[in-house]
Amino acid sequence: MNNLNIVEALSQISREKNVDRELVVQTLNDALVSAAKKRFPDVDNFEVELDADTGHMAVLARKTVVEEVNEPELEIDLEDARLIDDQAQMGAVVLERLNLADFGRNAIQTAKQILVQRVREAEREQIYDQFSIRLGSIEAGTVQQISHGDIVLNLGRAEAAIPLKEQIRRERYRQGDSVRGYIYEVLKSTRGPQVLLSRTHPELLRKLFSIEVPEISEGIVTIHAVAREPGERAKIAVSSNDERVDPVGACVGVKGSRVQAVVRELSGERIDIVPWIDEPEVFIARALSPAGVSRVILDRRRKHAAVIVDEDQLSLAIGRSGQNSRLAVQLTGWGLDVITDQEHQERRALMDESQEELRRLQGVSELIALSLAASGFISIKAIATADVESLKTVPGVEEELSGAEEPGLTAAALKEVAEEYLVAAEARGEIMRPATLAEVKAAAEAAAAEAAAVEAAAVEAAAAEAAAVEAAEAIVGEDESPGSDGDELASSSAVEASGSGKEEEGEAVQDDPAEAGISGDHGRPEEDVAVDTSAADAAAVGEEPASTSSVGDDAEEGESGPKVVG
């Protein structure tokens, strides 16, 4: 190979592999040294002269000038040394040029393999660095194949993959389709860099809006948060640092052109654009749109909020299968509990009852009782059955209990106090409140059901008594009314058989136990009978008489429950 061919070969490798030319030259240098070592394995005294501009290339061996040569690979006599350097002296080191043809086929093949391997490694490293810099950006590729559910893309110089878990479920691709994805990871492997793309990552939505909305790329409009259920629905929160620019309008575009471009890219994913504000109460209410919110109550310590809505807005706020509330949780970063005002009032009453009971424990202040109840420990039984670690998570328990009313009282001591109180209460026959909210609700529902049953029984008894009274009155009326000819004939026959018809009729009344039992109540109104029965039944279960509407209300309250999200 002449010098010009060497120069052209170096340049071609550099262009095709997109590798620095100096790196290619250094790689060739190392390959030639390796070839020389393979030809002369016992020595390591080689150098390479390689000029990338002129194509000059030579492999040199360092040899010491001696009077008598014992090791030809390391030594040279003075006469031969002066053919290389006419100023050579005894003991000097000269560089003797080696003939590449003498290296043999195996040595040359080794040099070639080293060159190819090193260039490939350099190329892979360069590709890895290139895509590592682009981590967090959007990349487009062409579908090469689908392997085990993963989509393999051709990015030009590299391959990428969209794992099955990062795909939108209803999307289907074929070989040759163009796909865009969010680069979320770049890995090194024996096959080269592996670029991983995602179609489900929340940041993909942010990047797509940055592409479609110039105000975002210019920094006028900011996307503060993104929440997605890929392929179904998404929410983004935006604001503007220019009061003349409406952030929501900028993202929607003229006739919805901008947001529709993003929707099409994400296969019809519905997108809600919410104005962002640095006020959690307002932001949470907006995040639950399109539902209307009556009130938001914040627990800043736990970063949890109770969202109160009207009854007709509850299903809209929660969304289908809880989707709307889940997205609101992702968007705001707050745990949300969506409830109606009636449920809120029930909770307030439950909290008051819980605090009152917890204050019975020695060393529990009003603040700690409130904190325990808010954390779900609604009764002494709940504390007694809890583990110590969960009690330690209650805000303020360890701090206040260890240094306030009862010095040295910790979460473990609190549990012990609750257990002792529970044992003593059971010995006294005291009925303690259930340990969990679910048990409290179950007890309330059972009480409501029992009250409803009592009310139904009272109504049924009143109806039966009224029917009996009506039947008795009908019999009395028949006695007093004038009989027909047929009746007189029947009465005459009855008199002949057993005496007076009046006596026979009296015996018939006495033989009916139901009529006999009611005969003394003819003068009492039906309403009084019903009310008295209800009162008696209510007294039997230790409750005051309740109207039908109040029992229905109680039953309805027992059936409803809080909707907890996050």
pLDDT in tens, 209-263: 999 999 999 999 999 999 999 999 999 999 999 999 999 999 999 999 999 999 9
- pLDDT of 16 reads 67
Q: Are both 251 and 313 inside the same structural domain?
A: yes
Give a yes or no: residue 353 inside a domain.
no
Q: Are both 558 and 490 inside the same structural domain?
A: yes
Q: How many CB atoms lie within 10 A of CB 433?
A: 16
Q: Could you tell me what percentage of the chain is helix, strand and coil, using 3-state DSSP and rounding each to the nearest 5?
A: 55, 20, 30
Q: What percentage of the chain carries pLDDT values higher than 90?
A: 31
Q: How many residues does the chain have?
A: 566
The helix or strand, by DSSP H or E, that contains position 154, with its residue range, turns out to be strand 150-154
Separation between Cα atoms, residue 264 and residue 536, nearest integer Å: 69
How many distinct structural domains can be found in the chain? 5
| CA torsion through residues 214, 217, 222, 227, sign | positive
Separation between Cα atoms, residue 327 and residue 291, nearest integer Å: 13
- pLDDT of 398 reads 65
Q: Residue 19's domain is classified under what CATH number?
A: 3.30.1480.10
Facing residues of 150 across strands? 147
Q: Are both 31 and 115 inside the same structural domain?
A: yes
Separation between Cα atoms, residue 546 and residue 376, nearest integer Å: 31
Give a yes or no: residue 347 inside a domain.
no
- pLDDT of 248 reads 96
| CB under 8 A, 24+ apart: contacts of 518-525 | 518/465, 518/468, 518/469, 518/472, 519/472, 521/465, 521/469, 522/469, 522/472, 522/473, 522/476
Domain boundary among 106, 126, 146: 126
Q: Are both 33 and 146 inside the same structural domain?
A: no
* Three-state secondary-structure class, residue 271: strand
Q: Are both 413 and 493 inside the same structural domain?
A: no
Q: Are both 454 and 553 inside the same structural domain?
A: yes
- pLDDT of 481 reads 53
Give a yes or no: residue 209 inside a domain.
no
Q: Are both 226 and 329 inside the same structural domain?
A: yes
Of 362, 375, 354, 358, whose CA–CA distance to 401 is shortest?
362
Domain boundary among 407, 435, 463: 435
pTM: 0.60
Whether 560 has a pLDDT exceeding 70, the answer reads no
Domain boundary among 435, 456, 471: 435
Q: Which residues contact 165 (CB under 8 A, 6 or more apart)?
A: 200
Q: Are both 41 and 26 inside the same structural domain?
A: yes
pLDDT in tens, 482-541: 544 444 434 443 334 344 444 443 333 333 333 333 333 333 333 333 333 333 333 333
Give a yes or no: residue 93 inside a domain.
yes
What is the distance of C-alpha 375 from the center of its chain? Answer: 21
- Token match 């706020």: residue? 317
Q: At what angle do helices 501-511 and 485-498 cross, to 10 degrees?
A: 90
Degrees (nearest 5) of the Cα angle 517, 521, 525? Answer: 140
Range of the domain at 510: 440-563
- pLDDT of 350 reads 79
Q: What percentage of the chain carries pLDDT values higher than 70?
A: 73
- Range picked from 15-19, 103-107, 393-397, 462-466 for highest mean pLDDT: 462-466
Please, are residues 238 and 227 in contact by the beta-carbon 8 Å criterion? Answer: no
Separation between Cα atoms, residue 555 and residue 558, nearest integer Å: 5
Q: Tell me the residue type at 89.
A: Q
* Three-state secondary-structure class, residue 364: coil
- Range picked from 142-151, 395-404, 441-450 for highest mean pLDDT: 142-151
Give a yes or no: residue 58 inside a domain.
yes
Q: Residue 237's domain is classified under what CATH number?
A: 3.30.300.20
Please, are residues 436 and 382 in contact by the beta-carbon 8 Å criterion? Answer: yes
- pLDDT of 390 reads 82
Of 244, 211, 240, 243, whose CA–CA distance to 223 is shortest?
240
By CB atoms closer than 10 A (0-12, 13-18, 19+), residue 198 is buried
Q: At what angle do helices 105-133 and 3-17 cross, to 10 degrees?
A: 30
For range 79-102, the mean pLDDT: 79
For range 49-74, the mean pLDDT: 77
Q: Residue 402's domain is classified under what CATH number?
A: 1.10.150
Q: Which residue has the higher pLDDT, 232 or 74?
A: 232
Q: Are both 224 and 336 inside the same structural domain?
A: yes
What's the farthest any 2 CA atoms get from each other in the chain?
174
For range 468-490, the mean pLDDT: 62
Please, are residues 164 and 129 in contact by the beta-carbon 8 Å criterion? Answer: no
Please, are residues 205 and 272 in contact by the beta-carbon 8 Å criterion? Answer: no
Give a yes or no: residue 256 inside a domain.
yes
The model's confidence at residue 440, banded by pLDDT at 50, 70 and 90, is low
- pLDDT of 435 reads 55
Of 336, 345, 384, whose CA–CA distance to 361 is shortest?
384
Q: Residue 176's domain is classified under what CATH number?
A: 2.40.50.140
For range 67-82, the mean pLDDT: 81
Task: Report DSSP letters for 115-131, one per residue.
Answer: HHHHHHHHHHHHHHHHH
Q: Are both 463 and 546 inside the same structural domain?
A: yes
Supply the mean pLDDT for the chain.
76
Q: Are both 430 and 444 inside the same structural domain?
A: no
- pLDDT of 358 reads 81
pLDDT in tens, 170-216: 899 999 999 999 999 999 887 788 899 999 999 999 999 999 999 99
Please, are residues 451 and 554 in contact by the beta-carbon 8 Å criterion? Answer: yes
Q: Are both 141 and 173 inside the same structural domain?
A: yes
- pLDDT of 22 reads 72
Give a yes or no: residue 369 inside a domain.
yes
The model's confidence at residue 470, banded by pLDDT at 50, 70 and 90, is confident
Structure tokens given for 261? 């471009």
Give a yes or no: residue 150 inside a domain.
yes
Q: Which of 254-268, 317-331, 433-447 has the lowest mean pLDDT?
A: 433-447
Degrees (nearest 5) of the Cα angle 325, 560, 447? Answer: 155
Please, are residues 247 and 258 in contact by the beta-carbon 8 Å criterion? Answer: no
